[in-house]
Amino acid sequence: MQWTKSVQLKLKTLIAAVALLALGTMVGPLANAGCGKYESTGQKMSSLRSFGSSPAEFRFIRTGYQQIADVEKSDSAPQNAAAITGLWTFKYIAEGNATIPDGTVIDGGNTAWYSDGNELTSSAMRAPDTGSICLGVWEQTGPSTYKLNHIGLSWDPINNVFVGPAFIKQNVTLETGGKKYSGTFNLTQFAADGKTVLVKIKGLIFADRVTVDTI
């Protein structure tokens, strides 16, 4: 069958529109699988897009966060973020405990303070199967002071059982220039019931900022 040029042009336009629509339906699941909330129960995944009148039309949702003011910003801190944000190396040093000598290193590793008020720590002194990755939330309490509620989930790797949550409350002060901070910590290790106290440790925190030039 011979097609006229007019019919051929309409057919090509229709094929292009169908292909664009198919591409739009493929991008959604991929974006959700990579960045959105994954649900294995068959429920709808949280969407990163806000759809318009057409199924193939989408726009990104605007996001934002409350700016936290600092009297003195760190040169390494992101714009519109508190000066504490960034990556740090840290040490917990015992002080004032009845059964642990002062100066004993309790923990050390890397910790990241995020501009949205969340925090993540990777311990270099805890084996991964004991719970070496911990999460926390923080807020600014003064021009250069911050408090952090850090939660670790401790495991017994020998018996493969959950020991319980460990809460580490920190109060720290950022030094002038934003390259170091120090303060105090109080660690409370609970049993699996979340009520029975197994261990309490307190002491000092010392941290140094990690930059792209840190060796």
Extents of the domains making up the chain: 5-60, 86-210
Give 3-state DSSP helix, strand, coil % of the chain, rounded to 5.
Answer: 15, 40, 45
How high is the pLDDT of residue 6?
A: 52
Express as a percent the part of the chain with pLDDT over 70.
63
Take residue 208 and report the two structure tokens written for it.
């140094």
pLDDT at 67 over 70: no
Q: What is the mean pLDDT of the chain?
A: 75
pLDDT at 101 over 70: yes
Q: Return contacts of 180-186, CB within 8 angstroms, 24+ apart.
A: 180/206, 180/207, 180/208, 180/209, 181/84, 181/88, 181/146, 181/205, 181/207, 182/206, 182/207, 185/92
Considering only 52-61, 120-129, 140-149, 206-215, which range has the smallest mean pLDDT? 52-61
86-210 folds as Lipocalin (2.40.128)
pLDDT at 80 over 70: no
> What number of other Cβ atoms are within 10 A of residue 135's Cβ?
13
pLDDT at 54 over 70: no
Considering only 9-18, 108-117, 120-129, 154-163, which range has the smallest mean pLDDT? 9-18
Q: Residue 3 corresponds to which amino acid?
A: W
pTM value > 0.75: no
- 156 pLDDT band (50/70/90 cuts)? very high
- For 187, the 3-state DSSP assignment is strand
DSSP letter assigned to residue 3: P
pLDDT at 187 over 50: yes
pLDDT in tens, 22-32: 434 333 333 33
Take residue 170 and report the two structure tokens written for it.
């920190």
Beta bridge partners of 208: 89, 180
> What number of other Cβ atoms are within 10 A of residue 129's Cβ?
11
Nearest of 89, 113, 122, 123 to residue 214 by alpha carbon: 89
CA–CA separation, 28 vs 134, rounded Å?
Answer: 31
